[in-house]
Amino acid sequence: SSNKGCSYLKGLESIAPLVRSVEETPEPIATEVCGTIPTWIRGSLLRNGPGKFEFGNQHYNHWFDGMAMLHQFKIEDGKVTYRSRFLQSDAYKKNSERNRIMVSEFGTVAMPDPCKNFFLRFLSRFEMIEATDNASVSFVKYKGDCFVSTETNYMYRVDPESLETQNKVDWTKFIAVNMATAHPHTEPDGTTYNMGNSYGRKGALYNIIKVPPMKNNPEETLEGAKVLCSIVPADKARPSYYHSFAMSENYVVFIEQSIKMDLLKIVTAKLRGKGISEGIYWDPKQDTVFHLVDKHTGQFHTKALSVFHQINAYEEDGFLMLDMCCSDNGEAINTYVIQNLRKSGEALDQAYNNMYRAFPRRFVLPLNVTNDTPTGVNLNTRPASSATSFKTAIDKVVCQFEDLHGEDLYEYGGLEFPQINYSKFNTRPYRYFYGCGFRHLVGDSLLKIDLEGKKVKVWYQKGLFPSEPVFVPSPDAVEEDDGVILSVVVTPTEDKSTFLLVLNAKTWEELGRAEVPVNIPYGFHGTFNPTA
C-alpha cells in the first residue's frame, strides 16, 4: 500500500466542528493582530468552501455538497479585516426558500417534493439530475474578473471587494462543453486554459478550452472562448473523472486517471435515488494515461494512480517534467462523506488509516520520441533523476515516477493542496512548492519542500488545522521564495478562534496572525487578489 512508511495513527481528535454550518459575516469586522503583518502586503485573500451542510432536517452527504461560502481577508497597512457571504446561487436560494434540499449536489440527491402529487413525483424521478450552480470549490480569474467555480457548467462572477454575487455564467452558452474544472491555468498575458467534458452523439470527449485575455466590453464573460482540441476517452461510456490538469510552456497535459465515471449510473442516479458520486469509481486495472497536447499528440502510460492537484510542469532539454500530488488508490473521493468527517474515537482513526495518502511525484516524459527511438532503454537521461520512461510500442511510452520528497514526508502524512510561486514560476523550472501535511482527514500542518535535496520545512501546532497555503511574492523579490505564505487556520476545540496566519516563505517562521472571532468550516481553495 502507498501508506508504506506512514505509521498507523491513533487517537485523532474529532474535527466535526470543522464541517458544521456557520453564519455569514457580510460586513467587514476587525481582527486582532499578534506579531506583525508586513505592510507591503496589500490585497485580499479570497477563499471558497462549504459553509452550510443542511436545510431544515435534510443533510448533505458529501463534503463537496455544502453551500458555497466566500471569505475575504483584506490586508492593508499591517491590519486585516474579515467578511464572508454565502454565494447567492439558485441552489442556495431555492433551498433557503423551502428550507429543504431542492437541488441535487455531487453526493446528495434532492428527493421529490412531497407537495407534488404522486404522478408528478413519479415523473420527476426520470429527469436527469440537473447540474448544480453551487460554485464552492475555488476563486478563479477570466479576463481580469473574479469568478467562483465548481465542476459543472455554471460559474458566478463575484465582486472581490464586497463578495456580492453578480451574474451566473453558463459555459454551454459559449462552447460545446457540459462542464469545466475549477482549476484553469493562466498565462502571464491573462489568456486562460481549462478543460471540460462534452457528452454528445459521439459519446464523451475531453476538451481543452482557451479563453482570451481581454474583454471588449465590461459586460463580457466567456465570449471568444473556444475548444482547442478534443481527446477521445479510452472507454467512451466510462470517461475519467478529473479535477485539474497540467500546463507547461508548449503543452497541455491531460491526465486520464484510473478514477472513472460510469455514465449510465450517473444518468440513472436520480431514478435510483442516489447521488452522482455513486457513479464515480476507482478501477486499478486501468493504466493512467498522460496526454500531451500540442501540434502532435503523444501518449504516455503509467500504472493506476489518482490525482487531484498538479504542482507544476515544465520543459527542459527535450523532456517534460510533470509534478503532481498522487496516491496509489482513488477511493479518497468516497472517504470525504460528511459522516466520516464527523466521526470520533476509533471510527475516526479507522477512516483515516484506511485512506491512501497523496505524495508529490515527478514523471519525466521524453518529448522527441520517434519511430527510430529504441525500445527497452530508459529514455530519461537526466542526471540525478530516478524517474524512468521506456518506449514499449510505436505510440506508447511507459513511465515510472520519482519521489519529490524524502522519508520524512511519511511522518507528516504526505502533501496535498500544493501551491507554488505561480505568477513567476508556473510552466518554468522551479525549486520550491508548498502544501498541507495530512496527519488527519484535513490538513494539520504547512509544508515547504525544497527540490534541491528534497528537504521539508514544517509549521505545525497541535490542534490547529491550516488551509491551502497561498504564496504572495514580496514587491522586491529576487529569489523564488522571497515572500509570504497566507493560510487560514481553524480549530475544532475552541469556539470562534480562527486566524489568518502569515509565514515568512523563506525561513518558514511565523511573522504574525490576525485573529477573527468567527467559526469557519475547513475550506478548499483560495487566491490572493492584489489591491489595484
> At CB < 8 A and 24+ separation, what contacts does 219-227 make?
220/143, 221/142, 221/143, 221/145, 221/157, 221/167, 221/169, 221/174, 222/142, 222/169, 222/171, 222/173, 222/174, 222/175, 223/174, 225/171, 225/174, 225/175, 226/175, 227/175, 227/176, 227/177
Q: Which residues contact 350 (CB under 8 A, 6 or more apart)?
A: none
Residue with cell 460510469: 262
Cell of 113: 417534493
Helix (H, G, I), strand (E, B) or coil at 37: coil
pLDDT at residue 211, rounded to an integer: 97
Q: Are 311 and 248 in contact (CB under 8 A)?
A: no
Q: What are phi and psi of 522, to 5 degrees?
A: -65, 130
In what helix (H) or strand (E) does residue 422 lie, and over which residues does it extend?
Answer: helix 422-425
pLDDT at residue 332, rounded to an integer: 87
For residue 302, with 0-12 CB atoms within 10 Å meaning exposed, 13-18 middle and 19 or more buried, which class applies?
buried
β 298-302/288-293 pair status: antiparallel
pLDDT at residue 111, rounded to an integer: 80
10-43 CB burial, b ≥16 within 10 A, e <16: eebeebebbbbbbebbeeeeebebeeebbeebeb
Percent of the chain residues topping a pLDDT of 70:
96
Residue with cell 475519467: 240
Secondary structure (DSSP) of 43-111 = EEEEEEEEEE-EETTEE--BGGGSEEEEEEEEEETTEEEEEEEE---HHHHHHHHHTS--S-BTTBPPP
Q: How far apart are CA 91 and CA 75, in angstroms?
A: 31
pLDDT at residue 28, rounded to an integer: 98
Q: What is the pLDDT of residues 216-264, one digit of tens each?
A: 999 999 999 999 999 999 999 999 999 999 999 999 999 999 999 999 9
For residue 345, with 0-12 CB atoms within 10 Å meaning exposed, 13-18 middle and 19 or more buried, which class applies?
exposed
pLDDT at residue 296, rounded to an integer: 60
Cell of 60: 448533505
Q: How far apart are CA 128 and CA 316, in angstroms?
A: 46
More confident residue, 335 or 15: 15
- Confidence category of residue 334, pLDDT binned at 50, 70, 90: confident
Cell of 464: 490547529
Q: What is the pLDDT of residues 465-490, one digit of tens each?
A: 999 999 999 999 999 999 999 999 99
309 annotated ligand binder: yes
Percent of the chain residues topping a pLDDT of 90:
87
* pLDDT for 456 beyond 60: yes
- Confidence category of residue 7, pLDDT binned at 50, 70, 90: confident
Q: What is the pLDDT of residues 495-513, one digit of tens each?
A: 999 999 999 999 999 999 9
183 annotated ligand binder: yes
pLDDT at residue 125, rounded to an integer: 66
* pLDDT for 295 beyond 60: no
Q: Give the mean pLDDT of the chain.
A: 94
For residue 355, with 0-12 CB atoms within 10 Å meaning exposed, 13-18 middle and 19 or more buried, which class applies?
buried
Q: What is the pLDDT of residues 171-183, one digit of tens each?
A: 999 999 999 999 9
Q: What is the pLDDT of residues 39-78, one digit of tens each?
A: 999 999 999 999 999 999 999 999 999 999 999 999 999 9
* pLDDT for 426 beyond 50: yes
Q: What is the pLDDT of residues 122-138, one digit of tens each?
A: 666 666 678 999 999 99
* pLDDT for 401 beyond 90: yes
* pLDDT for 439 beyond 80: yes
In what helix (H) or strand (E) does residue 448 lie, and over which residues does it extend?
Answer: strand 445-450
Cell of 105: 449536489
pLDDT at residue 121, rounded to an integer: 67
Q: What is the pLDDT of residues 110-126, one digit of tens each?
A: 887 767 677 776 666 66
Range of lowest pLDDT (104-113, 344-353, 494-503): 104-113
The mean pLDDT of 437-463, rounded to a whole number, is 97
Q: What are phi and psi of 269, to 5 degrees?
A: -55, -45
- Confidence category of residue 267, pLDDT binned at 50, 70, 90: confident
Residue 2 CA, chain-centre distance (Å), reads 21
The mean pLDDT of 183-191, rounded to a whole number, is 95
243 annotated ligand binder: yes
Q: How far apart are CA 111 and CA 124, in angstroms?
A: 9
Residue with cell 508529490: 360
pLDDT at residue 294, rounded to an integer: 85
Q: How far apart are CA 167 and CA 169, in angstroms?
A: 6
pLDDT at residue 318, rounded to an integer: 95
pLDDT at residue 1, rounded to an integer: 42
Residue with cell 466535526: 16
Length of the chain: 532
Closest CA to 59 of 354, 275, 266, 371: 275
In what helix (H) or strand (E) does residue 204 lie, and over which residues does it extend?
Answer: strand 203-211
